[in-house]
A and B are shown apart, each in its own frame.
Chain A
Amino acid sequence: MKKRITIALAGNANVGKSVVFNQLTGLHQHIGNWPGKTVEKAEGTLFYKGCFIDIIDLPGIYSLSTFSIEELISREYIATEKPDLVINVVDASILERNLFFTLQLLELEAPIIIALNQMDMARKKGISIDCKKLERLLGVPAIPTIATKGVGIHKLLEVAMAVIEGKRKTNPFKPTYGKEVEKRIKKLASLLQKMPINYPPRWTAIKLLEGDEGIKEMIRRIDASILATAERLLKEIERIHGHSCFTVIASEKYQLANAIATKVQKLVAQKKPLLSERIHDITTHRIFGYPIMALTLLSLFFAVFNFGDFFSRILNGYFTFGREILENIIGTGALSKIVGGGIFEGVFAGISIALPYIIPFYIILGLLEDSGYLTRIAFLMDNLMHRIGLHGKAFIPLILGYGCNVPACLGCRIMETERERVIAAFVVTLVPCAARTVIILGLVGAFVGLKWALMLYLLDLFAIFILGRIAFKVMPGEPTALIMEMHDYRIPNLKTVAKQSWFKVCDFIKIAFPLIIISSLLIKLIEVAGLLNPIADALSPITTNWLGLPSIAGITLIFGLLRKELILIMLSALFGTTNFSTILTPVQMLVLTLVTMLYIPCVATIAALTKEIGPKKALIITIIEIVFAIFIGGIAFRILTLFLH
């Protein structure tokens, strides 16, 4: 018997996979990203009957084509890593659609058992399912579960082990198609028999007929002539049916899923309009839906920021205290400055600023997602978001950005595709967070005029609009139309959400803290080494000539990378006054604020970007924004000088 086995969880989105995952792994889990991708990866371990079981939660997907990265990751994982078992988590209340995916797994010849989850939801909808019949039809075990209550999980594990150890035999169902299609599949499959590929020949043949780009590429490298045969057979099927081959195959698969579902489920009770349905109707109402959404988001927004604020203050107190102790120990010499100022300040910035906001944010976002409200928000806002080149779900990160960019960037993971995630993350960094608002109001608002402050906000919206659309056009990859499943409202599972939030925060800390500490250290080192002025002079072509700012502004902008508030703090510290009108002219104030508003937010945001879309893209966005900000700043300088002298 093996000592270490791997089990993968696969299924549609929102079927309760992560709840099953959490039930199985408890606190022994780790949430990160698939290497080099923006897709979340949840892994965990459990020890059961003398065996280590590694559990991996694959992304929620509807098919195994090349439509999205999630699908590619999943099928590659199953075919290449060959997990000992795949537990297909199925939503018992939406059997047909879920079975479509089950059939895909069976076609991929993955070793599966089925967790028939959400049996309670099914019962509420009046659906009763004959599990034994399902087992007979599919040839694999089907265990009814209610993951949120832990029902059936133990049995699921038992059966999983029994299957892996060979104590329970399975006879997996092989989906077949109409004769004309089968004939051609078999022909292609026989050609592929001897190919050195990870995937089963029959599955590969079907994918070729479906026109799967990834598989075509793989086959092209081995034997391009097969592609020609596939193309020919594909066209024959299309001629017979009058629809694209892909449609024919998908259609027949769905018919199969439908046939199985009909045989296995019975509508027992009359369908009364459930409470969840009524809530759904109100929350998507043409007129009422919007104020409800505004109210909900506002209250959640305030919850996050009040909670964050509260804890931020408490932590602030601890850190000031801790700083004093540190100074008592190390003294106030250069070392103290570097260690204290660099590392300590860095950790302080991370913990007291970002963390108190991020933890409640993750929880609330998790609740929104799990309850199903997120899809309704996307439904209401999709149209508006389109104008910016985004989809409906981007509304939430965008709004969050007005408070703090860090959770907003992290929130971009809710977007449906990688391309959308990147565009959303980019646009979000342009949203003026609270820190930047402090500068806008504290500098421009107080010393130049409120009207000008408002103009800056409008200009920012304008920038978001334009840059969003540009990003939309320029980003590689195809823009996708919105196709989203809206599952029934349900009470979110707080335990799962809290647990997952915790692990996501841990993952963020792993990336953010090193970045923050290193940058703090660097800047402190520069300061202590007396390099501030030399650097200011080096930057003066940009700061003085192009932007028209005093040369010291260059340094403050660099410090602004750590925390935006530092810009004002530094200015007042360097000049010894908070009356900024003695330091800067109105034009200079406007230009400085403009650049601050548009150039990359703090290091914590860069860390968030790195976590969500990867270091390369984060770096590209950073550079683009810095260049853009400086460019606009210089132009603004020249235009404003004409108007304001």
Chain B
Amino acid sequence: MNKLAKRLEQGLLRLYILWRASKQQVSGIDLLKVEREHEHELSAGILYPALHRLVKDGYLTLKKTVEHGKVHKYYRITKRGKDALEKAKESFGEPMKEFLREWLKIPRKEEEKTLSLIDLKNGESGTIISIKAGHRAAQRLADMGLTPGTKITVAKSAPLDGPIEILARDSKLVIGRGLASKVFVRVEEK
């Protein structure tokens, strides 16, 4: 394995273990087995130190049970581990999504459509994908913090094709309907 992949693996391994543990308690052998199924070279020499590190940091707890006279060790995720996993998803996972999708050429699922702001219902959230407005309007939107990658929530729209009130970066913005129709978002899947 080349150096880049090795580096990545070290970082991602802990994340992967936590993710597995969040679904159900795992043993070291469970993890090795599944990896081998996927023909991935994961050696015990790498896995166990990672597991111990996670226990030491408080993200996993180690449980020993005795079954049929044999000692089984299981790793369970702690609350702290759950929080860490969630936080990593927010600050790391979500932004990586687009990149990974493009890099690995993962096809988009059906539910993920790109809608314009005016198509969103009150209360719906989305992430801005693109803005198809004129240079000046796009600049102004960017100045107000509406750039690709920004999370927004539609609060309401004024009646009779009036402007739209959205929540972005912790403050309320009002956008004229015409302009709003040129902002395209990807709706969050529930």
Contact = CB atoms under 8 A, between A and B. Distances in A.
Contacts of B140: 67, 480-481, 483
Interface string A329-370: 000000000000000000000000000000000000000000
A605 B169 CA distance: 42
B147 A254 contact: yes
B165 A486 contact: yes
B165 to A, nearest CB: 7
Contact of B147 (A97, A251, A286): A251
B158 A97 contact: no
Interface stretch (B5-13, B77-85, B173-181): B173-181
Given A286-B159, A382-B163, A483 B175 contact: yes
B178 A243 contact: no
A96 interface: yes
Contacts, number: 120
Given A246-B138, A480-B140, A383 B178 contact: no
B100 interface: no
Interface residues of A, number: 39
A272 B150 CA distance: 25
Most A C-beta atoms less than 10 A away, residue of B133, B144, B149: B144
Contacts of A250: 139, 142-143, 147
Interface in B31-50: none
A119 to B, nearest CB: 16
Contacts of A384: 160
Interface in B137-156: 137-145, 147-150, 156
A502 to B, nearest CB: 31
Contacts of B144: 62, 97, 483, 485
Nearest to A98: B171
B134 to A, nearest CB: 8
B174 A487 contact: no
A443 B172 CA distance: 50
Given A97-B170, A97-B171, A482-B179, A379 B165 contact: yes
A610 to B, nearest CB: 29
Contacts of A63: 143
A100 interface: yes
B179 A243 contact: no
Given A96-B170, A247-B131, A67 B143 contact: yes
A339 to B, nearest CB: 53
Nearest to B173: A485
Of B130, B148, B163, B165, the most chain A CB neighbours within 10 A belong to B163
Given A378-B174, A482-B176, A485-B172, A247 B148 contact: yes
A285 to B, nearest CB: 8
B149 to A, nearest CB: 6
Nearest to B156: A284
Contact of A483 (B161, B169, B173): B173
Nearest to A96: B169
A544 interface: no
A243 B160 contact: no
Contacts of A485: 144, 171-174
B136 A383 contact: no
Contacts of B173: 483-486
Interface string A195-222: 0000000000000001100000000000
A65 interface: yes
A483 B141 contact: yes
A429 B133 CA distance: 34
Nearest to A378: B174
A195 to B, nearest CB: 24
B174 A375 contact: yes
A33 interface: no
A247 B142 contact: yes
Interface string A237-251: 000000110110011
Given A97-B170, A211-B135, A284-B158, A62 B147 contact: no
Contacts of A258: 169
Contacts of A244: 135, 138
Given A251-B147, A254-B145, A284-B156, A481 B176 contact: yes
A383 B147 contact: no
Contacts of B136: 67, 478, 480
B160 A383 contact: yes
Given A284-B158, A481-B175, A383 B139 contact: no
Q: 9 smallest A-B Cβ distances: which pairs?
A: A482-B176, A250-B142, A481-B179, A63-B143, A251-B147, A383-B162, A481-B176, A486-B172, A94-B171
13 contacts: A97-B171, A100-B145, A211-B135, A246-B135, A254-B150, A286-B156, A379-B162, A379-B163, A383-B159, A384-B160, A482-B179, A483-B144, A486-B174
Interface of B: 130-131, 133, 135-145, 147-150, 156, 158-163, 165, 169-179
